[in-house]
Amino acid sequence: MCTLVFVGAHLHDESFGPGGALAEYALRGVRVVYVCATRGKAGAADPEHLTGHATPGDMRWAELTTATRELGLAKIICLGYRGSGILGAYPPATDDSKGCGEKASNCANEREC
């Protein structure tokens, strides 16, 4: 079985733009994996949108898992980078991606990231 790996910086990058193509490959039997750099923790959301979610990051992750399921993607891999958030709303992002090279290597070798 062929595997297509899509790498995106943010949650929702799988849907905006390449979503149709990723879904088409999945429909044709290609195993599609989304490698996402962030988990959506550094951002804000209006409280009324958080119903059922503890944090904006939890809400975004739920949206991502729903989107990937609808697109037919086989797996999501999160590299663990901290997003930048909204300009001025949060301190500058710090590099919490130590070990990212090892994570990428594990992904390429089908080990859990």
- The type of residue at 31 is R
| Beta strand 3-8 pairing with 75-81 | unpaired
Q: How far apart are CA 102 and CA 80, in angstroms?
A: 12
Structural domains in the chain, CATH included, are: 3-108 (3.40.50.10320)
Bridge partners, residue 6, by sequence:
34
On the question of pLDDT at 44 being above 80, the answer is: no
pLDDT confidence tier of residue 33, bands split at 50, 70 and 90: very high
Token match 């904006």: residue?
A: 56
Most confident of 10-14, 43-47, 109-113: 10-14
On the question of pLDDT at 111 being above 80, the answer is: no
Most confident of 1-5, 13-17, 68-72, 99-103: 68-72
Q: How far apart are CA 66 and CA 3, in angstroms?
A: 21
Q: In sequence order, which residues have a C-beta less than 8 Å from that of residue 27 and are 6 or more positions away?
A: 72
Encode pLDDT of 57-105 as tens digits: 888 889 999 999 999 999 999 888 776 655 554 444 444 445 555 665 5
pTM (two decimals): 0.72
User: b/e per residue, 58-81, with b = 16+ CB within 10 A?
Assistant: bbbbeebeebbeebbbeebbbbbb
